[in-house]
Amino acid sequence: MKKIYVFLTIFMSTIIMLNASPSNRYITEHSCSKAKAAILRKGCTISDKLIDRGLNQAAAFWTSADGSQDEFVEFCTKNFCLNLEEKDQLFERLCSNFETILGHNNRVTIELLRPSHVKGYESLPIDDIFGAYNGLAHFNADMFNNKIAFIVIMNFPHFTLREKVNNGENWTIRQWGYVRLGDVFTDRAPASAEQQINAATAAAENYIANYNIYMGMVWSDKNIRYWTPDVQLITHWGLRDELKAAYSDPVSGTDKQSIIYNILTRITDQTIAEDVINKDEYIWYPSTNQTFVQRVEIRGKSENNKRYEHLLRNFKAIKASDEYYEDDNFITRKFEGEYEISVEQAEKLFTSLLSSPQVKEVAELISKRLGRKLQPFDIWYDGFKARSSMDQRKLDSITMSKYPNTEAFANDLPNILVKLGFTKARAKFICDHVTVDPSVGAGHAWESMMRDDNSMLRTRIGENGMDYKGYNIGIHEFGHNVEQTISLHEVDNYFMRGVPNTAFTEALAFTFQNRDLELLGLGNNDTINEDLNTLDIFWNCYEIMGVSLVDIKTWQWMYAHPKANAEQLRNAVMNIAKEVWNLYYAPIFKEKDQVILACYSHMIVDPLYLSAYPIGHLIDFQLEQYLKGKKIGPEVERIFAMGHLTPDLWLQRAVGQKLSTTPLLNATSNAVIDVANYDKQIKKERKETKVIKKKKSK
């Protein structure tokens, strides 16, 4: 599950936007020089370079509406810190005040959304209106209007990613706090620009949210209907998950997968008929794309590029705001700003795994396990999960008995942490800062933004107790809560709270989730489970890294062709998807020109988010490898108390390695051998069992 970042994105346009600078600068260099001279005359001992950087960055945002040239000089002279003692006093006050503003606004949002997120509330139309209320909607503009933003920019200027990477290792945690404060006010885009982006993304989200396929109306080439009328699957998540689930069906699984693959392809290339989207009026044969009503074929029109109209609208809204940023390219802002990894580094990571010899090794193992040649839909092979052989009903019985209600789960959280190696005192401290609620949806973790508040853990708890799926999600979300608590309470200062990016908090959540059976007393020391998990991570990376490359290359194409229409964009995406497929997948699956790598809904609703997944998988694996054989509690407390460093520096200090595919690749080669031998042994044992049964029957 995604960790919910509400105020992080509002407050830290910070990590998303780089060193913004209006194109028509109002303040002159002469005014900056006058301000510097006046500051030095007051006895300022701050270095010349920092004075120049702070004044120049403040000048880049100052407009005539903020004051005259002389008023700029006077403001800077009055508010520039003269020494490190004054700077530290200002920093501490800003830490306190920002925690107050963000923390209480965060709590307001949590409470207003409670009827939508937590079970037990009667749904009212007004809930959605209050849920959409954002007390910090004008926070950035307010901070510039009251000139607090200028005080911050002057005294705590922004540093680029390159500067952070080159110098960060030598900075103290307090200096890192100064730098993170310098990330806060790095754009002054007008509210209208943000509104355009919000309108585009909201329309895209609505489009995807209502994009369901009624599977009971989907027929195979042999006129077989595999799904009941009540089955509705959303693109792409529901369709993909149904395809994965079909691996457990030895009779009809492959047929179902072929049908779903054809559906996803039709959606992606937009040949899908509009009449079968969110409707149950027509029988549909996805392989031929024919639709029928009472055996009469109906030739309906295709969706006609609506999917790519939304993608294009997102691009145009975002590009329209580029003028307000010095780095006028969203791709760079997303990667270097939010992920703090350059797009070149991300692409290099992805291609290093996609082109590795381990891909062929794992593919051959999957083919043997399936007993057939691989099909393109096997990019979603789901047979490496260690828990797949366990009886779901037995697991449900165990978790429902152990956790009959919310209170039982909440009361057991300290015990869970103790099992993971936390001391009783630290387990109590962490759990005292986590509140558990029964969730309306699948579940989520909502962070606290102040130390006097609690983070929220939401998961599904039914009338008969918490089933295994709810428990599994609950453990995942609890991992988020543990990170949220440690990285808020144990860091040196407020601006260092959190982790480098979303992928890092997901890493700890997966670390907890991977131990869910162990926490129930069902785990074992069988190393084959570890090997299976390694192969599962590797194959997931193989699939999602290709998807991420298509996402990146699509945005690069849109920037190179800003006047393209939806049809041209669709054609470009199809070509990009085929290009990536043919390079990294066709040699394995022996089929060319597949477009399925462009099927993900994230491309439409969440621009350039997809890369967070493979990056998260790599971080998760490196963290797991490091934690092997160690007490998790003390290590987690040490690692996540480091706070918001850059990704490579965080990993280097956490596990002794920078972000890399090498640990996963090495482990994968070993895992392939182990699992292949394991499969042979299982096959041999089953054969011997059959022989024995046959002899007994005689």
Please report, rounded to a whole number, the percentage of residues in the chain having pLDDT higher than 90: 75
> What total number of domains does the chain contain?
2
- The per-residue pLDDT for 442 is 72
Q: What is the pLDDT of residues 40-98, one digit of tens each?
A: 999 999 999 999 999 999 999 999 999 999 999 999 999 999 999 999 999 999 999 99
Confidence of residue 698 (pLDDT cuts 50, 70, 90): low
Contacts of 545 (CB under 8 A, 6+ apart): 349, 350, 353, 354, 614
- Do residue 25 and residue 91 come from a single domain? yes
Last residue of a domain, one of 307, 325, 349: 307
Domain-located, residue 296: yes
Q: What is the pLDDT of residues 89-112, one digit of tens each?
A: 999 999 999 999 999 999 999 999
CB neighbours of residue 306 within 10 Å: 17
- Do residue 65 and residue 133 come from a single domain? yes
- Do residue 152 and residue 220 come from a single domain? no
- The per-residue pLDDT for 391 is 75
Domain-located, residue 229: yes
- Do residue 97 and residue 33 come from a single domain? yes
Task: Pick 70 or 322 by higher pLDDT.
Answer: 70
- Do residue 32 and residue 81 come from a single domain? yes
- Do residue 47 and residue 132 come from a single domain? yes
- Do residue 172 and residue 48 come from a single domain? yes
- The per-residue pLDDT for 324 is 84
Q: Residue 321 half-sphere exposure, CB side, CA atoms within 13 Å?
A: 23
SS3 string of 234-302? ECCHHHHHHHHHHHHCCCCHHHHHHHHHHHHHHHHHCCCEHHHECCCCCEEECCCCEEEECCEEECCCE
Contacts of 442 (CB under 8 A, 6+ apart): 1, 459, 460, 473
Confidence of residue 224 (pLDDT cuts 50, 70, 90): very high
Confidence of residue 393 (pLDDT cuts 50, 70, 90): confident
CA 121 remoteness from chain centre:
29
Range of 57's domain?
7-188
Q: What is the pLDDT of residues 127-162, one digit of tens each?
A: 888 887 888 888 999 999 999 999 999 999 999 999
Read off the pLDDT of each residue in 553-579 and give the average, rounded to a whole number. 98
Read off the pLDDT of each residue in 593-607 and give the average, rounded to a whole number. 96
Domain-located, residue 89: yes
- Do residue 226 and residue 140 come from a single domain? no
CA distance 692 to 575: 56
CB neighbours of residue 686 within 10 Å: 10
Q: Is the pLDDT of residue 117 over 60?
A: yes
With the C-alpha atoms ordered 112, 105, 132, 311, is the resulting torsion angle positive or negative?
Answer: negative
Confidence of residue 17 (pLDDT cuts 50, 70, 90): very low
- Do residue 119 and residue 163 come from a single domain? yes
CA distance 551 to 600: 9
- Do residue 127 and residue 165 come from a single domain? yes
Domain-located, residue 278: yes
Q: Is the pLDDT of residue 22 over 60?
A: no
Longest dimension (CA), the chain: 106
Which own/partner pairs from 323-328 qualify as long-range (CB within 8 Å, at least 24 positions apart)? Answer: 323/23, 324/20, 324/22, 324/187, 324/188, 324/189, 324/190, 324/193, 325/17, 325/18, 325/19, 325/20, 325/21, 325/187, 325/189, 326/18, 326/19, 326/20, 326/21, 326/60, 327/18, 327/19
- Do residue 151 and residue 221 come from a single domain? no
Last residue of a domain, one of 307, 340, 375: 307
Q: What is the pLDDT of residues 153-212, one digit of tens each?
A: 999 999 999 999 999 999 999 999 999 999 999 888 887 888 899 889 989 988 998 899
Residue type, 331: I
Domain-located, residue 83: yes
Which neighbouring-strand residues pair with 292? 283, 297
Last residue of a domain, one of 285, 307, 329: 307
Domain-located, residue 244: yes
Ramachandran area for residue 340 (φ above 0: left; ψ -120 to 50: alpha; else beta) = left
- The per-residue pLDDT for 64 is 96
Domain-located, residue 231: yes
- Do residue 129 and residue 209 come from a single domain? no
- The per-residue pLDDT for 687 is 83
CB 675 within 8 A of CB 386: no
Q: Residue 694 half-sphere exposure, CB side, CA atoms within 13 Å?
A: 6
Count Cβ neighbours within 10 Å for each residue of 180-198 and write b for 16 or more, e otherwise. bbbbbbbbbbeeebbebbe
Count Cβ neighbours within 10 Å for each residue of 7-17 and write b for 16 or more, e otherwise. bbebbbbbbbb
Domain-located, residue 353: no
Return phi, psi of residue 91, to 5°.
Answer: -60, -45
- The per-residue pLDDT for 14 is 35
Q: Is the pLDDT of residue 487 over 60?
A: yes
- The per-residue pLDDT for 522 is 85
Which neighbouring-strand residues pair with 284? 218, 291
